Structure 1
Amino acid sequence: LRAGMDMELPSRTCFNEELGQWFASGRLDMEILDTAVKRILTEKFRMGLFDNPYALGETQLKEIFHTEEASELTLQAALESLVLLKNDGILPIKAPVKKAAVIGYHAASTRSLFGGYTFMSMTERWLGARNTMAGVEEEEITSDCDNQLYPGSYVQQEHPLAEKLAKELRPDSNNLLEQLKMIMPGTDFSYAFGYAHAGEDMSFHEEALSAAEEADLVIVTVGGKYGTGSMASTGEGIDSTNINLPPCQEVFLEKLEKLHKPVICIHFDGRPISSDGAERCANAILEAWNPAERGAEAIGKVLLGEYNPGGKLPVSAAYHAGQEPVYYNHYNGSSYHQGTVGAYRSYADRPYEPRYFFGYGLSYTSFEYSDLTLSTRKTEPSGSVTATVAVSNTGASEGDEIVQLYLKDRYASMTRPVMELAGFRRIRLKPGESQNVTFHIQISQTAFLDINKKWKIEAGWVDVLIGASSQDIRLSDSFCITSDLYIDGKDREFYAETRIGQIGETDYFSKRDEAVR
């Protein structure tokens, strides 16, 4: 106990009535309890809780956090997070649309814009959701409450007042349907619920299909619900054996495909989309994640071409749970780079490769990479290498490109990843504009744990790979580390610092120079 913690939160497992009796009976020295209480009270004094024990009022909170600057930052974060996964040219929406069908739970839900660990998610429990957060004691969700669950799942049905509560919390936040009606006033919108965010209830399909059949454009919203309660399908303490869309959504997309309508699919959730139905049915797929209070506005800007999406996937998205784990920096000779010889170059029923690769994302324009140069081809292990690449916007739209740098250790004394992200830089280019992007690579970034668990920079060749994703490598070169060096783990660098400049500028710089800037 002397080496233990002073406070147990949020549930009491050890600091219980029995422990209290131990102190009362003298079985434990009261000095232990006094010391713990003193430390807790001291911290509360330091935080000023005895001078001002109450939280800030609503007016004070709005003055501090709900500023115009904060709102604009929220919009920018939403815009930059959107990832365009598929587009056959339907986006941005070009011609006026007479009649559009908007389908899915998420389209008419403000709550679906917000993820877990948000006030929106936490407040939802007022409506009767059970807590799912790890370490918090809560009544277990079982099939005994079937009338409260979405059929075919253990997810609790959303309370009828959920959207009303969301509007009370964020009255200035439009859901997607409201936003579309506002920015496309000449379009006749029809909305159909279609399906929930979980389960296999297909009783609303026909109504939604009828709306789609009469429309010139169909916008379907799919995905789960990210939260911290039993009304959510994704989040802490909420696990699933299925990484794909729930049956109620996947089957609907299969039915929608037969109508041969132009379809835009927008995905909301705390995890990436993986759907055969969406890939076949949709002309465009936009990964929206949980874009928060101005998320619908951000999506609208992308749909109409007012903003060119430039987001890239921060994960690899598998086709099926049977592929997991699948990630871009797997070890040499594993995952989708096995290098073995056999009858199959894939699973019997799926590719080895992920559905969407790490770093992947489309744009309304195109980018060309050229003129990769390294500051040196040989370096001491204590040194650095600077890589400079020219990136040009070769399309007709202004847009963002996230230039990605990967390093590959060709041969090593330990099995190493096929590649590792070493740095990236997001740049915005107008049509015809070009910029140099410079990466300053500290050689300590190549260090790895050897067989004795010591951080080792090892002599040998390292490939420099630069591209638009982990799979879309546009240029490559290499440098040689001349000797081995063991370093302290705390001194290992983790990312390459970057700078951008006009073509023709000298972009070599030292880490000290960057710090001075």
Structure 2
Amino acid sequence: TRVLHAKGADYSGADTSGFAEAVRIAREADVAILLLGEHPNMSAESRNRTSLDLPGVQQQLAQLVHSIGKPTVVVLMNGRPLSIRWVADSIPAIVEAWYPGVQAGPAIADILFGDYSPSGKLPVTVPRNVGQVPIFYNHKNTGRPPNPKDSYTSQYIDVHWTPLFPFGHGLSYTTFAYDNLQLSAPRIRAEDSIVVSIDVTNTGSRAGDEVVQLYLRDDVASITRPVKALRGFRRISLPAGGRRTVTFTLDRDDFEFWGPQMKLIVEPGWFTVYVGTSSADVRQARFEVVE
């Protein structure tokens, strides 16, 4: 493998003098790899920006290299979510590396050459635009939840109300299918536990790891509760074609919340369980807590 390199542009600033060399080697290469993001000094204590867009002329560089027509990969190095709508719409492969440290080169190379199948999941929500901030998966419900058929609800007129990438999202070089979500009981008492199980199948052609995530919602409560909250996750390894039943146990610690008297309480009522590959890609079932 022969690696060609050009600086292209600085982290910030308006200097485009390196564009020509970057385009030249991109034309010569089989695959173009763009390393984009923020300098560590841009995302640290007392280091703030008013925009989450790629700083400087980085997006211009990406658009120019993309226009050549070569297969292109973007590797992001950043300390916070960035609004990368154009990159997500135009570049077929994005590696979120964050600030990876001294072993960044070998780790990224292993991913790009397929020696390791990625299995990480986003610990944050990535917005489409800075105007969506704050945006997070475990938000409280509103009086007018988003409804595509009703313009007078909580949504935007210029972008979809959902994030660009949801909390828990992450792709692999293989694919996984979820089915047969089961609960051990339709109703329980507050002091009881309930077992949640689901079957996960590796439907791809190579082995891989998957992080199975479980979220819980208290459907109706005396105090507004999050639309869903992460209550567990399991990392599993499956060969191509492999299948496994993954189980979670939920108990009082997962149901209770701080009540009006500042005591932990569990209120009777319905709960919804969500299990899936991210906070947005889930299967669901319901059970009831009774007195």
Shift of 1:253: 1.6
Identify the structure with the greater strand proportion: 2
Question: How far apart, in 1, do the equivalents of 2:228 and 2:92 lie?
Answer: 32
Would the aligned equivalents of 1:272 and 1:289 in 2 still touch at CA under 8 Å? no
Question: How far apart, in 1, do the equivalents of 2:160 and 2:8 lie?
Answer: 31
1:204 aligns with 2:18: yes
- Counterpart of 2:157 in 1: which secondary structure? coil
- Counterpart of 1:451 in 2: which secondary structure? coil
Shift of 1:343: 6.2
Would the aligned equivalents of 1:392 and 1:433 in 2 still touch at CA under 8 Å? yes
The 1:343/1:247 distance shift into structure 2, 3 A limit, reads farther
What is the identity, as a one-letter code, of the residue corresponding to 2:176? F
Would the aligned equivalents of 2:32 and 2:70 in 1 still touch at CA under 8 Å? yes
Q: Deviations over 1:194-226 (max 9, x none)?
A: 112223332322221222233221111001122
- Counterpart of 2:110 in 1: which secondary structure? helix
TM-score (norm 1): 0.54
The 1:280/1:252 distance shift into structure 2, 3 A limit, reads farther
Matches within 5 A, 1:216-255: 216-226=30-40, 232-255=41-64
Q: Deviations over 1:420-441 (max 9, x none)?
A: 1110011110011111211111
Structure 1 window deviating more from structure 2 (212-221 vs 273-282): it is 273-282
1:418 aligns with 2:224: no
- State how many pairs are aligned: 290
Question: How far apart, in 2, do the equivalents of 1:426 and 1:238 lie?
Answer: 34
- Counterpart of 1:191 in 2: which secondary structure? coil
TM-score (norm 2): 0.93
Aligned residue in 1 for 2:4: 190
What is the identity, as a one-letter code, of the residue corresponding to 2:173? Y
Aligned residue in 2 for 1:400: 209
| Aligned with residue 29 of structure 2, among 215, 230, 242 | 215
Question: How far apart, in 1, do the equivalents of 2:183 and 2:153 lie?
Answer: 39
Would the aligned equivalents of 2:85 and 2:164 in 1 still touch at CA under 8 Å? no
The 1:411/1:325 distance shift into structure 2, 3 A limit, reads same
Structure 1: runs of 5+ lacking an equivalent:
1-183, 227-231, 484-517
What is the identity, as a one-letter code, of the residue corresponding to 1:196? D
Matches within 5 A, 1:265-304: 265-304=74-113
Would the aligned equivalents of 1:403 and 1:466 in 2 still touch at CA under 8 Å? yes
Would the aligned equivalents of 1:316 and 1:354 in 2 still touch at CA under 8 Å? yes
Question: How far apart, in 1, do the equivalents of 2:211 and 2:178 lie?
Answer: 12
- Counterpart of 2:246 in 1: which secondary structure? strand
Would the aligned equivalents of 1:197 and 1:224 in 2 still touch at CA under 8 Å? yes
The 1:215/1:281 distance shift into structure 2, 3 A limit, reads farther
Identify the structure with the greater helix proportion: 1
| Aligned with residue 469 of structure 1, among 268, 278, 285 | 278
Question: How far apart, in 1, do the equivalents of 2:110 and 2:29 lie?
Answer: 21
Question: How far apart, in 2, do the equivalents of 1:342 and 1:262 lie?
Answer: 39
Would the aligned equivalents of 2:195 and 2:249 in 1 still touch at CA under 8 Å? yes
Question: How far apart, in 2, do the equivalents of 1:241 and 1:444 lie?
Answer: 39
Would the aligned equivalents of 2:195 and 2:247 in 1 still touch at CA under 8 Å? yes
What is the identity, as a one-letter code, of the residue corresponding to 2:290? T
Question: How far apart, in 2, do the equivalents of 1:200 and 1:310 lie?
Answer: 36
Question: How far apart, in 2, do the equivalents of 1:431 and 1:462 lie?
Answer: 34
Aligned residue in 1 for 2:249: 440
Would the aligned equivalents of 2:83 and 2:130 in 1 still touch at CA under 8 Å? no
Percent identity over paired residues: 36
Question: How far apart, in 1, do the equivalents of 2:159 and 2:181 lie?
Answer: 36
What is the identity, as a one-letter code, of the residue corresponding to 1:369? Y
Question: How far apart, in 2, do the equivalents of 1:248 and 1:334 lie?
Answer: 41
Question: How far apart, in 2, do the equivalents of 1:247 and 1:197 lie?
Answer: 6
The 1:361/1:334 distance shift into structure 2, 3 A limit, reads farther
Would the aligned equivalents of 1:316 and 1:326 in 2 still touch at CA under 8 Å? yes
Aligned residue in 1 for 2:286: 478
What is the identity, as a one-letter code, of the residue corresponding to 1:367? F
Structure 2: runs of 5+ lacking an equivalent:
none
Please tell me the root mean square deviation across aligned C-alpha atoms, in Å: 1.9
What is the identity, as a one-letter code, of the residue corresponding to 2:78? D
- Counterpart of 2:57 in 1: which secondary structure? helix
Shift of 1:344: 7.8
Question: How far apart, in 1, do the equivalents of 2:126 and 2:14 lie?
Answer: 23
Would the aligned equivalents of 2:146 and 2:161 in 1 still touch at CA under 8 Å? no
| Aligned with residue 389 of structure 1, among 173, 185, 198 | 198
Q: Deviations over 1:387-444 (max 9, x none)?
A: 1112111110100100000101111122211111110011110011111211111123
1:306 aligns with 2:115: yes
Question: How far apart, in 2, do the equivalents of 1:415 and 1:262 lie?
Answer: 47
- Counterpart of 2:5 in 1: which secondary structure? strand
Matches within 5 A, 1:102-251: 184=1, 187=2, 189-226=3-40, 232-251=41-60
Shift of 1:345: 7.6
The 1:436/1:306 distance shift into structure 2, 3 A limit, reads same
- Counterpart of 1:478 in 2: which secondary structure? strand
What is the identity, as a one-letter code, of the residue corresponding to 2:33? I
